[in-house]
């Protein structure tokens, strides 16, 4: 099965200080055809104005990943963590039994843009935890967050992996979904996936087989390997 999510068809929210595009149902946006993909529950593309942000609020039993594209976010939580997360860094928060946190634009003037990603954990009621890293791109497909923390990646409480894919124009790569489902979210650039053209904000999911990807321009994307669902 092939699943498509076009950038222009995503849900939207505009609160003045926040503009967001939702790949899956979130908040006031509900679409029963787009409730998630395997354990991937949320991909929000958030742009926050200078000096603004998400006030303290709570989460429980969710793996929450932030990938900063532009600017920096300022994180504080009830576990005593207080960090600035700059562009290129990856942040993972396991909400577990419950955690309160806030995420603000570190700049008073410039916008911050980041992807907010939620993954349903495979174990509930764990102790809340936090990780943040700069993960350098060492190959075309570099792990950012994995179940076992391989190759300097962050860890998550799920049998899943999140990679950053970076290709030069004309590069080709095949991504397999033989034993797990795969989901590709384009951050920047254009690519040909089989017969399909994808650009920034577009996504394609696959439940079996292989995605053959050819970069039409310089390409940056996120690739998720996710548990197969019945």
Other Cβ atoms closer than 10 A to 102: 16
Going along 40-171, which residue ranges are E strands?
40-48, 53-59, 63-70, 72-77, 82-86, 89-94, 99-105, 112-119, 129-134, 141-146, 154-155, 161-167
The pLDDT of residue 176 is 85
pLDDT digits (tens, 9 = 90+) for 159-197: 999 999 999 999 999 998 777 999 999 999 999 998 889
Q: Once rounded to an integer, what is the mean pLDDT over residues 148-156?
A: 95
Torsional sign, CA 58, 61, 6, 193: positive
Per-residue confidence band for 229, with pLDDT thresholds at 50, 70 and 90 = confident
Per-residue confidence band for 107, with pLDDT thresholds at 50, 70 and 90 = very high
Radius of gyration of the chain (CA): 17
The pLDDT of residue 67 is 97
Per-residue confidence band for 230, with pLDDT thresholds at 50, 70 and 90 = low
Residue 95's nearest CA partner among 125, 60, 122 is 60
Question: For the chain, how many residues are written?
Answer: 230
Mean pLDDT is lowest, of 90-94, 146-150, 157-161, 209-213, for 209-213
Residue 17 burial class via C-beta count within 10 angstroms: exposed 0-12, middle 13-18, buried 19 and up = middle
Walk me through the domains of the chain, giving residue ranges and CATH numbers. Answer: 2-226 (2.60.120.10)
The pLDDT of residue 43 is 98
The pLDDT of residue 209 is 86
- 3-state SS of 162-208? EEEEEECCCCEEEEECCCCEEEEEEEECCEEECCEEECCCCEEEECC
Residue 208 has pLDDT above 80, yes or no: yes
Residue pair 44/22 in contact (Cβ under 8 Å)? The answer is yes
pLDDT digits (tens, 9 = 90+) for 2-37: 899 999 999 999 999 999 999 999 999 999 999 999
Residue 216 has pLDDT above 70, yes or no: yes
Q: Which residues pair with 146 in a beta bridge?
A: 155, 161
Residue 79 has pLDDT above 80, yes or no: yes
The pLDDT of residue 177 is 75
For residues 146 and 16, give the distance between their C-alpha atoms in angstroms, rounded to a whole number: 35
Residue 131 has pLDDT above 90, yes or no: yes
The secondary element (H helix, E strand) that includes residue 18 is strand 18-22
The pLDDT of residue 106 is 97
């Amino acid at each position: 099965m092939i699943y498509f999510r076009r950038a222009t068809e995503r849900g939207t929210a505009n609160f003045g200080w926040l503009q967001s595009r939702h790949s899956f149902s979130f908040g006031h946006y509900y679409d029963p055809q787009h409730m998630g993909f395997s354990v991937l529950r949320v991909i929000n593309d958030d742009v926050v104005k200078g000096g603004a942000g998400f006030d303290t609020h709570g989460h429980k039993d969710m793996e929450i990943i932030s990938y900063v594209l532009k600017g920096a976010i300022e994180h504080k939580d009830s576990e005593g963590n207080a960090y600035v997360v700059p562009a290129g860094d990856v942040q993972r928060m396991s909400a577990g039994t419950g955690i309160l946190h806030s995420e603000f634009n570190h700049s008073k003037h410039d916008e911050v843009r980041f992807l907010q990603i939620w993954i349903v954990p495979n174990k509930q009621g764990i102790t809340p935890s936090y990780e943040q890293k700069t993960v350098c791109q060492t190959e075309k497909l570099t792990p950012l967050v994995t179940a076992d923390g391989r190759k300097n990646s962050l860890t998550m409480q799920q049998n899943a992996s999140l990679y950053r894919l970076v290709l030069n124009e004309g590069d080709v790569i095949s991504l397999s979904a033989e034993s797990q489902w795969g989901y590709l979210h384009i951050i920047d650039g254009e690519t040909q996936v089989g017969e399909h053209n994808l650009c920034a904000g577009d996504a394609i999911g696959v439940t079996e087989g292989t995605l053959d990807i050819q970069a039409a321009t310089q390409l940056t994307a996120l690739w998720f390997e996710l548990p197969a669902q019945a």
